[in-house]
Amino acid sequence: MSSQVIAIAGTQRGGKGTLAAILATLSTALDPGLNTQYFTAGVDVYPFACNLTSALKYPEKDADRADELVARDLLKFLKGLDGSDPYSHKNLLLVIDEAMRLL
């Protein structure tokens, strides 16, 4: 998956997030130094080491407000990447799950 942009499309509850988590897990196993940033709406939990940003980060907020804060965190992260030199984040795996809900 190196230097790739991959989009996974499918029906609701069709396993897109699970597939993304499996790919992230395999990528991390192949490269333990991989910086995996995982943003998702709701309270998903995945069994691999990553920087997970989900509604779990904001337990005191209701679901909608927590998702808004996750979307804000994602935007802040993306803006940080925007000012970077091309290909300067060679060891970054960015997963955005439930992107439409975060929109």
pLDDT at 43: 75
Number of domains in the chain: 1
φ and ψ of 14, to 5 deg: -90, 0
pLDDT at 48: 64
Beta strands at 51-53 and 35-40: parallel, antiparallel or unpaired: parallel
Contact by Cβ (8 Å): 37, 50: yes
Residue 66, domain extent: 16-102
d(CA 54, CA 36): 14
11 part of a folded domain: no
66 part of a folded domain: yes
Token couple for 13: 């509850």
d(CA 89, CA 27): 15
pLDDT at 26: 87
Q: Which burial class, exposed, middle or buried, applies to 31 when counting CB atoms under 10 A from its CB (0-12, 13-18, 19+)?
A: middle
Q: What is the mean pLDDT of each run of 10 residues along the chain (103 residues)?
A: 70 82 85 86 70 87 92 92 82 82 78
